Amino acid sequence: MTCDLPDIGRSEARLRGFYEAGIECLDSAWRPALLEEGFDWASPELKLAAGPSQCGEPPDEDSATAFYCSGTIFMPRERVLGDLGVASRSHLAVLAHEYGHHVQGRSRVLRAVAVRTGELGENDPKRLEINRRTELQAECFAGLFLGGAPERGLVESLSEKEISAVNRSTVGSDTHGTRGNQQEWFHRGIEGDGPEACNTWSAPASQVR
Give me the pLDDT at residue 157, please.
57
Residue 6 falls within a domain, yes or no? no
CA distance 190 to 182: 13
Q: What is the mean pLDDT of residues 3-8?
A: 87
Picking from 30, 58, 64, the residue whose alpha carbon sits closest to that of residue 44 is 30
Residue 16 falls within a domain, yes or no? yes
Give me the pLDDT at residue 170, please.
46
CA distance 201 to 46: 28
Picking from 89, 86, 81, the residue whose alpha carbon sits closest to that of residue 61 is 81
Residue 29 falls within a domain, yes or no? yes
Residue 7 falls within a domain, yes or no? no
Residue 191 falls within a domain, yes or no? yes
pLDDT in tens, 44-88: 999 999 877 888 888 888 778 899 999 999 999 999 999 889 988
Residue 56 falls within a domain, yes or no? yes
* Dihedral sign of CA atoms 198, 204, 205, 209 in order: negative
- Helices 179-191 and 125-148 pack at an angle, to 10 degrees, of 40
Range of the structural domain that residue 25 is part of: 12-208
Q: What is the mean pLDDT of residues 172-191?
A: 88
Q: Is the pLDDT of residue 155 over 60?
A: no
How many domains, in total, are found in the chain? 1
**Residue 129 backbone phi and psi in degrees, to 5:** -65, -40
- The identity of residue 148, as a single letter, is G
Spell 128-163 as b/e; 16+ CB within 10 A means b. Answer: bbbbbbbbbbbbbbbbbbbbbbebeebbeebeeebb
Picking from 128, 134, 122, the residue whose alpha carbon sits closest to that of residue 172 is 128
- Quick one: how far is CA 54 from the chain centroid? 18
Residue 78 falls within a domain, yes or no? yes
**109: enclosing H helix or E strand:** helix 109-118
Banded pLDDT at 2 (limits 50, 70, 90) = low
Picking from 135, 106, 134, 113, the residue whose alpha carbon sits closest to that of residue 43 is 106
Banded pLDDT at 163 (limits 50, 70, 90) = low
User: How many C-beta neighbours within 10 Å does residue 37 have?
Assistant: 10
Residue 2 falls within a domain, yes or no? no
Picking from 88, 98, 102, 90, the residue whose alpha carbon sits closest to that of residue 42 is 102
Give me the pLDDT at residue 148, please.
76
